[in-house]
Amino acid sequence: MAEIASMTGFADAAQAAEGATVSVELRSVNARFLEIALRIPEELRLAEGRVRERIGAALSRGKIECRVALSRDTAASGPRLDARALEQLSALSREVRAAMPDAPALGIGDVLRWPGIVDAGGVSGEALLEPLLATLDRALSGLRESRRREGAALAGALLERCDGIAAITLRLREAAPRILADLERRTQERLAQTLGAAISPSLLSREEIAERIRQEVTLLGLRADIAEELDRLGAHVAEVRRILAQGGGVGRRLDFLLQELNRESNTVASKASAIDMTQAAVELKLLIEQMREQVQNLE
């Protein structure tokens, strides 16, 4: 069975190579699809496609921020000037001075900061490709483990709230006959007083008035009945539990079920005819909203 994973996690890894150290830091948060933001040194830019490919193969959803850093051992091979780049810069400077005689000359600091002038020395970017990918694999393994731990915690929280919803629906199911009986009694008394006082005996007999009252009370009872809503709530909760037990990528399926749970809780609230029904509906909506927030983080 595939484990449930959150889209939130963090991991890092580093590996020493000849003359340099490569480090990878991965952060992930929830997102509808897989989004990869990559920061990588220019010396390792050639590996960008391979890095994105490996992240995409390891993860299916989430906004992933990947930071690659390269630290060279300057003691092993110190920096030096790139003679070719320096010559090109000098030629460009002469052309600019010819076109703009009043332009200030480049200072030493300007020259040293010019891209490509200083060669850091040491191992090349191509030679660092395999160490980089090996470091990335270890960071991805750590990130997946971090996301699995978070996913297990979220699954436990969801199951607790499923238990809460089941307890509320059971409470409502047991109280429903009493609530409906009270509603029908109160409605019958009000209708009997209203119709008895407003309708002349010559228009409707007492039996006809009683029949009209019975029809109205029956219709009101049907509209206030929440048995079907409670059945659907129970079915949705059972499906949430089944999906969590199955594991794997559950986020989108649970998100759909939470929409259905919310719809049923809204219907229960709209049919509430007693204060305890209203309170139960509020409790249901609170639990479902808490579940919805948790599900947004699941892969």
Nearest to 187, CA basis, from 179, 177, 175: 179
Specify the pTM: 0.68
* Same domain as 269, residue 157: yes
Token pair of 225 as six digits:
């009945």
Q: How far apart are CA 154 and CA 144, in angstroms?
A: 15
Please provide the average confidence, as pLDDT, over all residues in the chain.
82
Q: pLDDT digit string (tens) for 211-248?
A: 565 665 555 554 556 778 889 999 999 999 999 998 88
pLDDT for the residue numbered 183: 58
pLDDT, tens digit, for every residue of 31-60? 989 999 999 988 888 899 999 999 999 998
Q: How far apart are the first and last CA of the chain?
A: 15
Overall average pLDDT of the 154-170 stretch: 94
pLDDT computed for residue 79 by the predictor: 64
Mean pLDDT for the stretch of residues 199-210: 54
Are residues 183 and 278 both part of a single domain? Answer: yes
Q: What is the pLDDT of residue 113?
A: 76
133 and 93 belong to one structural domain:
no
- pLDDT, tens digit, for every residue of 172-182? 888 777 766 66
The pLDDT of residue 4 is above 60: yes
Residue 12 has pLDDT above 70, yes or no: yes
d(CA 215, CA 221): 10
Tell me: pLDDT of 72 over 70: yes
172 and 235 within one domain: yes
What letter represents residue 144's amino acid? R
Domain that holds residue 245: 151-295
Mean pLDDT of the region 252-263 = 92
My answer on whether 99 and 188 are in the same domain is no
DSSP structure class, residue 126? T
Q: Which two tokens stand for residue 42?
A: 């220019």
Distance CA 277, CA 224 (A): 11
279 vs 28: which has the higher pLDDT: 28
Domain count for the chain, please give it.
3
More confident residue, 235 or 197: 235
For residue 36, being part of any structural domain is answered with: yes
pLDDT for the residue numbered 215: 60
Considering the domain architecture, whether residues 144 and 279 belong to the same structural domain is answered as no
